[in-house]
Amino acid sequence: MLEQNLINYHKYKSHNLDGLEFYSKAGLRFLPKHIGLEMMKAKIQPIGQFMDISSSAGYLASYKNSIILDTSLASLRAAQKTYDNKIIAAASIWDFNKEVDSLAIILSTDKGNARVNAEILGAYKNLKIGGQGYFLVHKNQGAKRYEKEIKSTFGNIKIIAKSSGWRLSKAIKNDNKEITVPWLNFSAANLKLKAQAGVYAAGKLDPGTKFFLEQLDFAQFKNKTLLDIGTGYGILSLKASLAGATVSALDDDLLAIQSCYQNSIQYGLDIRCLHSDVNSSLKDTDLYDVVITNPPFHVGKGVELLLPFAFIAAAYKHLKVGGELFLVANKALAYEPLLAEFNSWKEIANNKSFKVLWAKK
């Protein structure tokens, strides 16, 4: 079951896109047939060089002169399988330095106001004078608020299409002004930290990780090799490394990996930070004494249980025989049948919302 879950997660699905064989996979925020994405494809009119920032593996990039930009490696991997004649870049829109004539973005409302505002500023920054920006957002996810922000940034906005609550707007860049997107500085778990806009739980300690930290004795990881799958801004990796573990940290979100790396430097730690679609950046021979993880079960606004199943399967694959998995999970999520494939497992702590599970390979 574990091995098959990992195979299923990494499997590509083929679609016909204007005669092109287009690939998607698990872990993508937006897939073909999504109402808003299909509306964008029908309504936007790319001009000149076009940038697709739709987190859809380049679904809008069949236009001949296109760049695909994303921070999700799952999306980038699928785009690379589809296209061999496109610029495909791992970067945030506000850190990317390439002025284009037109672009389209689905605003990341699930990642909070800071992320959305950074995306709007980044879109403005990367358009040429006269360039056209297309923005998609759902009416129940703050559309009117974010449309006001677009108008404030660009000085103009026009709603060009609506469908099932999704609103597509267009703005024209008519001037140049300096754009900066600051990192967030904050404290959590007695550490001073920083994070890029919209990294999971940036600015705070999420309740699941807080409970996890309270249950783990990090001293037990001294002199051990440890893998943190889904590191976020790196709080678990930092605690393990400070306790003397040799740590590798993985995340699908490039901004999370950048945040983890900066935090490790700040504390003089040598954490191996890898942009990774679950375990895609590891070799089969990369084996660890310990895996720790707080696996996500949402992609965008939707639940996708194949993702945490893949996390657990990757943990099994990359543990040495006798190695240990520690994970925290929502109490309602049934991960125990997967852990039954380990040599042994048990629940080591719980509260009204979360449980901490342990398994040994």
Write the CATH number of the domain with boundaries 7-172.
Answer: 3.40.50.150
Cα(164)–Cα(156) distance, integer angstroms = 24
Mean pLDDT by runs of 10 across the 361 residues of the chain is 95 93 95 95 97 97 94 98 96 96 98 97 98 98 98 98 98 96 97 97 95 98 99 98 99 98 98 99 99 83 80 98 98 93 98 97 98
Measured distance CA(15)–CA(12) in Å, rounded: 10
Distance CA(71)–CA(91), nearest Å, equals 5
pLDDT of residue 155: 98
Supply the pLDDT for residue 303.
59
Query: Residue 298 has what pLDDT?
Result: 60
Residues of the chain with CATH 3.40.50.150: 7-172, 184-360
- Cβ neighbours of 97 (radius 10 Å): 8
What's the predicted TM-score (pTM) here?
0.96
Looking at residue 301, its pLDDT comes to: 61
CA distances from 149 to 52, 123, 154, 198, 309 (A): 21, 12, 9, 17, 38
Token digits of residue 245: 């573990």
Answer yes or no: are the C-beta atoms of 349 and 329 closer than 8 Å: no
Specify the 3-state DSSP secondary structure of 109.
helix
Residue 74 amino acid letter: A
* pLDDT given for residue 176 in this prediction: 96
pLDDT at 297: 77
Q: 7 Cβ partners below 8 Å, 6+ apart?
A: none
What's the token pair of residue 353? 């919302």
What is residue 64's predicted lDDT score, i.e. its pLDDT?
A: 86
Rounded to whole angstroms, the maximal C-alpha distance in the chain is 63
Please report where in the chains the tokens 């801004």 appear, as a residue: 233
**Residue found under tokens 């957002």:** 137
Across the strands, what pairs with 169? 135, 159
Which of 129, 134, 51 shows the shortest CA–CA distance to 91?
Answer: 51
Alpha-carbon gap, residue 220 to 327, rounded angstroms? 15
Query: 28: which residues sit within 8 A by CB, 6+ positions away?
Result: 55, 56, 57, 72, 74, 75, 78, 299
- pLDDT for 117 equals 98
3-state secondary structure of 228: strand
Residue type at position 39: M
* Tens of pLDDT, residues 160-207: 999 999 999 999 999 999 999 999 999 999 999 999 999 999 999 999
Specify the CATH number of the domain 184-360.
Answer: 3.40.50.150
